[in-house]
Amino acid sequence: MKTVYLVRHGQTLLNHFNKMQGWVDSPPLTELGQQQAATTGNKLANVAFSYAASSDLGRAMDTLDIILAQQTQPTPIPERLLDLREAYFGSFEGLDSKLTWNMIGGPQGFRHQPDLVERYGILKIRDFMNAADSFHEAETGEQLAQRINQALIHLSNSLEDGQAAIVVSHGTYIRTCYLVDSWTTSNAST
């Protein structure tokens, strides 16, 4: 069996201000974000990690570094992977989250992201975001699922039975992981 500790990065300045944050980064972590990472690191301090990775965005790299600094076991050199990045929000990057979800959900009769997710699922709302993006650059559900699939296959191939990994990524990304076929089928027993 393989064990993966999948962790969301600590709070950032854009999180604090309730702004959309996909590929746009706002390093460094806030004081709360640093505390969140340190708390996670303390809880995992005695876990022997054979593999460590994070998204290549600063908030995820900083979180992983803080977690690994708490380790009592030898730590692997972290891998930074583009495929672990948050969903790309296109022209909505950096905008107010509530306003953004009103614009995306309005045509479907919803004003809040949780209502959209409940009705359509997290992958379908990626398509709604792409359609509402005036540049149509926001990542679609299929694009995000393909990227997640590649990352999860890489992760699975990087571990042997009995090994553990620490992986730091992002909220939407992590919630979407459990919908991707390679994760649910090939890793059902991990």
Which residues belong to the active site?
9, 86
**CA dist., res. 75 & res. 141, Å (int):** 34
- 64: how many CB neighbours lie within 10 A of its CB? 27
